Amino acid sequence: MARVLGFALLFSALLFSCQKDKDILVSGNTSPQDATIPNVVKENYVNKSYISVLGRKPTATELSSGTTLLNQHNLSVADRNQLLDTILAKPGYNQRQYDICIATLLNNLDTAQITQDILLFTYLLTQPQYASQYAQIQIELTRIKSLKASLADLNSGTINEIGLQKRCVDNYFYDQINMGSDNFVVSLFQHFLYRYPTTDEQTQSKQIVDGFEGVVFLQIGHTKGDFINIFFGCDNYFEGQVRDLYLKYLFREPTSVEMSTAAKTYKNSLNYKTLQKDILSTNEYAGI
């Protein structure tokens, strides 16, 4: 009997030791996703940022250094801003902004044409038969010279993005493209505000441009210069700039909250680069 009992215990021990361990599953316990952003996403972000800001692809060195920078903290917002600061500080940035203004507002006006007209107006000031028009000729000459100096003044910090845009609409060439005060007013509203002026805005703006008193955007003006200053200082203008960059960079309209926040920030800071960075550093633009 003792031998039978011993054999039974030995058999049970062997059977238990041969059983396969079972996996224990815990409900709701999933393995974490890999938070590492692929290198191709970072390279794409570097490429897109250079093209958006400078209108060109990065060089091999710029692509490599930019990707390395973004690898510091896995494409964090701080890393994106650091990269954007580098791109925005490139020598070609101001040239790009100038080229965009000249292309969109002055139909790609050639620098040679600007120089030629400066020589023409300078010559006219030496001709006695134009003596009665000297004052107007001098005004046109001054405006053309300011336009020609725009890039140099942008580089020196004498003017900002708004100053550049003002010079591109306040010159002889823009007046020739948009002849008459009515067309001048409509062109500014369409380009910068993406809409036509209301009947009252058109009437009041035209009066100011023509040298009479008028009220537009709750501001009183008496001259064309007054109108330009009022226009480029109104809330609608800053909202238009936000809308312009959202359409360029994100291919969509900003939401009402995005519009309000960004326009207010830009109006208070007058820093166009900050406006660009705030959009270019978003997850939406980065594609994550």
Is there a domain that residue 209 lies in?
A: no
pLDDT mean over 268-278? 98
Are the beta carbons of 130 and 138 closer than 8 angstroms?
no
Is there a domain that residue 200 lies in?
A: no
Residue 36: pLDDT band (50, 70, 90) is confident
| The predicted structure's pLDDT at residue 90 | 96
pLDDT mean over 65-90? 97
pLDDT mean over 96-121? 97
| The predicted structure's pLDDT at residue 71 | 96
State whether 84 and 44 are in the same domain. Answer: yes
| The predicted structure's pLDDT at residue 3 | 46
Q: State the total domains in the chain.
A: 3
Residue 33 has pLDDT above 50, yes or no: no
Is there a domain that residue 276 lies in?
A: yes
| The predicted structure's pLDDT at residue 35 | 61
Output the pTM of the full model: 0.86
Q: Give me the domain span that covers residue 260.
A: 237-286
Is there a domain that residue 100 lies in?
A: no
Is there a domain that residue 97 lies in?
A: no
State whether 123 and 152 are in the same domain. Answer: yes
pLDDT mean over 59-84? 97
State whether 118 and 63 are in the same domain. Answer: no
